[in-house]
Amino acid sequence: MNDNLRLGPATGIGSLPGHDAREAAKTVTGSFEDFPHLAELPARGPGADMIGRTAGLLVELYARVEPSGWRIGDRPGRDTRRARSWLGEDLDALEEFTQEYTGPLKVQAVGPWTLAAALELKNGEAALSDPGACRDLAASLAEGLRLHLAEVQRRVPGARLVLQLDEPSLTAVLRGQVRSASGYRTHRAVDRQVVEGTLRDVLGVHDGPAVVHSCAPDVPFALLRRAGAAAVSFDFSLLTERDDEAIGEAVESGTRLLAGVVPGTDGPLSDPAGSVMGVRTLWRRLGLRPGLLPEAVTVTPSCGLAGASPEYARRAYAHCVRAARSLADNPE
């Protein structure tokens, strides 16, 4: 396995419940000593949500909250300032709890296609409706991510940064399933090569490992691999046997899997070995070597934990760590 891809046995997706940045950073770093991540706290309101937070990273593009959602505007306003302020709080907290840390550290942002599906142009339609707007948005995002990664590296100099792009709308973009503002029609499907090329350009700003995360069905594993994703993060419960071939090819080409096996909302948790039983079954079905499992799989929740209770979020993180240990101790 490529040393660049030693990402740690377990981590979180990104979002957590609550409002307290220090408490979130303490939970993340205390749970995932080998692979912490920058926490996101969307409960704080607009600008802490995934779209607003990433909109705050854009360079020379700004967005504000309208009744219908986030809309691109001409100048930075209160919503941009709020998003940047909350991100600053989160970075301060992360820096405090990662003193002397050396190892992989994950930071998350919304990818260019989910951003284009969510951000509105001045006419109220999604940026996705305008190829020129999509290009501008991707370029602005790439530059913003470059600056953001440099800032995180400055604060945690010993860390090996891992960039995660959240792309829950990617499959809908590829299939022409993103609804127009009226809701009566859908935007046409974007050509797969355009989607792949844009992702490659944005991922290319980071010279370390990059992950693409989607908790939607039918994750396009092969496309993401070609675009330069070193790892793919997904909700394991949504896999079907149709995905077998793509996953087998991904693992054999050295792609790491961030397998979301722990439920993202409150509920009973099975024993740790039970949580990864499906992963072992998949491995046997694909005829992959069991010893490869801990090298190829990082255990995560199935999606972000923003909708969970704080107590459950802490238990889910601890459960991910124990489930990953079960995989390593008994890959058969």
- pTM of the full structure: 0.96
Ordered per-residue pLDDT tens for the chain, 332 residues: 444 467 999 999 999 999 999 999 999 999 999 999 999 999 999 999 999 999 999 999 999 999 999 999 988 889 999 999 999 999 999 999 999 999 999 999 999 999 999 999 999 999 999 999 999 999 999 999 999 999 999 999 999 999 999 999 999 999 999 998 888 899 999 999 999 999 999 999 999 999 999 999 999 999 999 999 999 999 999 999 999 999 999 999 999 999 999 999 999 998 999 999 999 999 999 999 988 998 999 999 999 999 999 999 999 999 999 999 999 998 77
Residue 11's identity, in one-letter code, is T
In order of their start, the domains of the chain are 19-327 (3.20.20.210)
Instruction: Kindly list the distances between the CA atom of residue 266 and the CA atoms of 244, 263, 299, 304, 320, in Å, as whole numbers in the listed order.
Output: 29, 8, 18, 12, 14
Q: Under 8 Å CB-to-CB from 154, ≥6 apart: which residues?
A: none
Residue 126's identity, in one-letter code, is A
Contact 152, 38 (CB under 8 A): yes
Q: Which helix (H) or strand (E) holds 252?
A: helix 244-252
The total of other beta-carbon atoms located within 10 Å of residue 188's CB is: 10
